Amino acid sequence: MSDDRTDLPLGLAFATVNSGDHVVARPSQIEVSLQGEAFDIYADEWKLNARITLKVAPLRALMAPELQVGLTMTLCHVARNRSPAVLSNLSSILKDYAKRVNPGKPIANWWVVDLQNYRETLIQRFGHEGYLRTLRAFLKDWYSLRYPGIDRKVYEALKEMTFKGYESGRAVRSMDPKKGPLEPTELHNLSQRHSIRIRTGHTRLGAIFAQPIPHRHGSPPQSERQSQVQGS
C-alpha cells in the first residue's frame, strides 16, 4: 500500500467461546445498527432490525485473510449509518462479484481490471451497472476509513468511474412477451380502466394497476371466449 492503513480497530474487548473441551478468547466489539439493534462485529451474524439479519461469515469467507478486517469494519460502518436494506443488497452484490470475477477462490486484491470486467458482465446481463454503483460506494468507504485492502490507484479509478444511465427500452426492443411493449388492445383497455378509476375517485396507482392486464400473445381468457360464442 502507498500509505499507512489501520490494521485493527481500537478499544476491543474479548469474549470467551466454548470450543470443544476448552475456552478460547476472541475479539468482541458491540456496535449499534442504524435502527437500534446491538450486534457484535466479530459474530457470524448481525441482527440489524426485526426483519433483517446479515450473515457476515459467508462474506468474510469470500475474502483472503488480509482483507477480512477491512471488509468487517467497513460493513460495520455501513450498518451504523445506513439502512439494513442497503447491507442486504450489498451482501448479494459482493457474492455476485466473487462469483463472476473470482469463482471458487477468495478475493485477495481489488484490481481495477477486475472491476472493469465486472462492469462488462453487468451491462451484458442487465443493461446497466447498478451493482457496481453500490460496490463502488462501499469500496470508497473502505479506503476512506483507512482499513487495509484498497490500493490508492484503485480508489482513484473508482473516483473517476462514470456510469451509463439505465437502459430504457431494453424490454421493448427485445419484444419480450411479458415485459415488452403493450399491444394496441392492451393499451386501450388500460386507458379505459384508468379513466374509470379517475371518474370514480380511485386514483391511487395501486388501484389503477391492481387488475391484471388482459391476455397477451395467446388465446383470450375463458370469459372472453364465452362472450364471443354467445354473441355469434
pLDDT level of residue 163 (50, 70, 90 thresholds): confident
Q: Minimal CA–CA distance to 131: which of 169, 99, 100, 92?
A: 92
- The counts of H helices and E strands in the chain are 10, 6
pLDDT level of residue 114 (50, 70, 90 thresholds): very high
pLDDT computed for residue 73 by the predictor: 97
pLDDT computed for residue 92 by the predictor: 97
Euclidean distance between the first and the last CA atom of the chain, given in angstroms as a whole number: 81
Q: Is pLDDT of 54 > 50?
A: yes
- Euclidean distance between CA atoms 36 and 49, whole angstroms: 7
pLDDT level of residue 141 (50, 70, 90 thresholds): very high
Cell 453500490 sits on residue: 134
Q: Please tell me whether residue 27 adopts helix, strand or coil conformation.
A: strand
Q: Minimal CA–CA distance to 106: which of 52, 159, 60?
A: 60
Over range 6-32, report the average pLDDT: 61
> Cell for 103?
469463482
pLDDT computed for residue 165 by the predictor: 60
Q: Give this prediction's pTM.
A: 0.64
Q: Minimal CA–CA distance to 90: which of 140, 125, 126, 124?
A: 140
> Cell for 214?
388482459
pLDDT computed for residue 157 by the predictor: 96
- Euclidean distance between CA atoms 27 and 65, whole angstroms: 16
- Domain ranges for the chain, please list them: 21-170, 182-213
